[in-house]
C-alpha cells in the first residue's frame, strides 16, 4: 500500500452523460457494419439504416456519436439532434440542414432544398427557425422534401448526409412519420442519406407504428450490459496505457457492483482511481470508493430524474419499485398503489413520455434506468 493516491488529473475514466469512454468496448460489430452501410449508401447501393435501443446508461449516445464521427470521416455532412418535446427538434433539424446547404455552392438543387425548408419554416431569421403549424402548411410532405432535397443537393457536391437523432422516442409520432418518409424516399431514389435513431427500448415499437415499412429500413442494435470480460477491458486498457494496473479482484468487484452497465462501470472506476492507495489497484480500493461512487449515482443519475416529476407520479414510481426488478403488469402496479388500472393510466403514460419507464410489451412496464427500483426503495420508502 502506498502513502499517495493516484493523480486525479490523470484519471482516465469518464462518467458523464454521453461522454466517450477511454475504451469503447463491445460495440465493434455495430461500428463495422455501419461503416459498410455508409459506403454502400454513398455508392447508391441499398443498405439498412441503424436503430440503437437500450436502457439509460448503456452507451447509446456514445455509440451514436461514434457513428456520426465515422460518417464525417467518409464524406458525410451530419445533422445531429437530441430530440425533445414540442417543435424544438424540428427547429434543430431545419437549422442544421440550412447550414449544410449554405456551405455548398449555390445551385438549382441547393435553392430547391432551401425552399423546402421555408415551406416548413414560416420565418427564418439568421440561424433561428420558427416552425408554425397551420392547416395550410403541408407539414408531412414538406418535411420529407427537406430530407430528400438536402440529400439531392449533397449528392450533387459528392457528399452524403447522415441524420442522427438521439432520444428519438421523444419525437411526436406525426413528425417521426414525416422524417421516415423522407429517409425512405432517399433509399428508393438512391440518394446518399443515412439515418441513425437512438432511444429507449420502446423506440422499436414507436418506429413501427409511425410507418408500416419502417422495421425493414433499420438494423436494430439493442444495447445491454457489457460482459465481464468487456468490463475488465474497459477498466484495464486505459489505465495500462499510463502505466497503472488493476488487480483481478478489483475489476471483479466493479463487475459485481456495476452489473456491466457502462455508465456505472465508468463511475466506479473513476471514483476508485481517486481514492486508491494500493498498487495494483485493489478490491480494498473499490470498497474505499463505495461511498463516493454511490453518492455520485444517487445525486446525479437517479435523484435528478425524481426531482422533475410531480408527487402523483412519484407514487407510481414507488408502487413499481415495491415489486422488485421488472417488468411487471400495469395492473400489479395499480394494485400496489391500492388503485385500479384506469386510475393510474395517466401517470403511466406521462412517465413513459418522460423516459422514466417504458413498456416492453403491451400491458407491462419496467424502469428505463438500471437499478432505479433499488434507489427508490432506499431513498423514497413508502
pLDDT digits (tens, 9 = 90+) for 252-291: 999 999 999 999 999 999 999 999 999 999 999 999 999 9
pLDDT digits (tens, 9 = 90+) for 192-237: 999 999 999 999 999 999 988 888 899 999 999 999 999 999 999 9
Instruction: Quote the Cα angle for 166-167-170, to 5°.
Output: 135
Q: Kindly tell me the sign of the dihedral angle through the C-alpha atoms of 138, 141, 144, 145.
A: negative
CB 37 within 8 A of CB 48: yes
Cα 122 to Cα 132: distance, rounded to the nearest angstrom: 6
Q: Report the predicted TM-score, pTM, of the whole model to 2 decimal places.
A: 0.87
Cα 165 to Cα 352: distance, rounded to the nearest angstrom: 19
Residue 135 has pLDDT above 70, yes or no: no
User: CA separation (Å) from 181 to 164, 168, 209, 218, 313?
Assistant: 15, 15, 13, 13, 35
Residue 310 has pLDDT above 70, yes or no: yes
Rg (CA), the chain: 23
Q: Which domains does the chain have, with CATH numbers?
A: 28-222 (3.40.50.300), 228-305 (1.10.8), 308-379 (1.10.10.10)
Quickly state the pLDDT bin for 85 (edges 50, 70, 90). Answer: confident
Give the pLDDT of residue 3.
64
Question: Mean per-residue pLDDT for 135-153?
Answer: 75
Q: Is 366 helix (H, G, I), strand (E, B) or coil?
A: strand
Lowest model confidence (mean pLDDT) among 18-27, 304-313, 339-348: 18-27
Give the pLDDT of residue 244.
95
Cα 343 to Cα 123: distance, rounded to the nearest angstrom: 43
Amino acid at each position: 500500500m502506498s502513502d499517495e493516491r493516484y493523480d486525479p488529473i490523470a484519471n482516465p475514466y469518464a462518467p458523464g452523460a454521453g461522454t466517450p469512454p477511454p475504451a469503447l468496448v463491445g460495440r465493434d460489430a455495430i461500428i463495422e457494419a455501419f461503416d459498410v452501410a455508409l459506403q454502400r449508401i454513398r455508392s447508391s447501393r441499398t443498405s439498412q439504416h441503424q436503430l440503437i435501443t437500450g436502457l439509460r446508461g448503456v452507451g447509446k449516445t456514445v455509440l451514436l456519436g461514434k457513428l456520426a464521427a465515422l460518417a464525417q470521416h467518409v464524406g458525410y455532412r451530419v445533422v445531429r439532434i437530441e430530440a425533445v418535446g414540442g417543435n424544438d427538434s424540428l427547429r434543430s433539424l431545419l437549422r442544421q440542414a440550412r447550414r449544410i446547404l449554405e456551405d455548398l455552392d449555390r445551385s438549382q438543387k441547393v435553392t430547391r432544398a432551401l425552399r423546402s425548408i421555408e415551406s416548413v419554416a414560416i420565418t427564418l431569421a439568421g440561424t433561428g427557425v420558427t416552425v408554425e403549424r397551420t392547416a395550410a402548411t403541408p407539414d408531412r410532405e414538406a418535411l420529407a422534401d427537406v430530407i430528400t432535397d438536402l440529400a439531392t443537393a449533397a449528392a450533387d457536391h459528392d457528399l452524403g448526409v447522415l441524420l442522427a437523432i438521439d432520444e428519438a422516442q421523444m419525437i411526436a409520432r406525426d413528425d417521426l412519420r414525416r422524417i421516415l418518409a423522407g429517409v425512405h424516399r432517399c433509399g428508393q431514389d438512391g440518394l446518399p442519406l443515412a439515418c441513425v435513431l437512438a432511444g429507449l427500448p420502446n423506440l422499436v415499437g414507436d418506429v413501427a407504428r409511425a410507418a408500416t415499412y419502417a422495421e425493414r429500413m433499420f438494423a436494430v442494435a439493442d444495447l445491454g450490459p457489457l460482459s465481464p470480460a468487456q468490463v475488465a477491458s474497459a477498466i484495464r486498457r486505459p489505465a495500462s496505457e499510463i502505466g497503472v494496473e488493476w488487480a483481478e479482484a478489483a475489476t471483479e468487484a466493479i463487475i459485481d457492483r456495476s452489473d456491466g452497465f457502462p455508465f456505472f462501470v465508468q463511475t466506479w472506476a473513476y471514483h476508485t482511481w481517486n481514492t486508491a492507495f494500493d498498487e495494483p489497484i485493489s478490491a480494498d480500493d473499490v470498497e474505499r470508493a463505495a461511498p463516493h461512487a454511490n453518492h455520485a449515482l444517487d445525486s446525479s443519475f437517479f435523484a435528478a430524474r425524481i426531482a422533475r416529476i410531480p408527487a402523483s407520479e412519484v407514487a407510481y414510481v414507488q408502487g413499481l419499485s415495491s415489486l422488485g426488478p421488472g417488468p411487471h403488469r400495469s395492473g400489479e402496479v395499480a394494485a400496489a398503489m391500492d388503485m385500479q388500472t384506469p386510475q393510474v393510466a395517466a401517470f403511466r403514460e406521462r412517465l413513459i413520455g418522460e423516459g422514466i419507464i417504458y413498456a416492453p410489451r403491451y400491458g407491462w412496464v419496467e424502469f428505463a434506468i438500471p437499478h432505479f427500483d433499488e434507489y427508490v426503495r432506499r431513498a423514497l420508502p413508502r
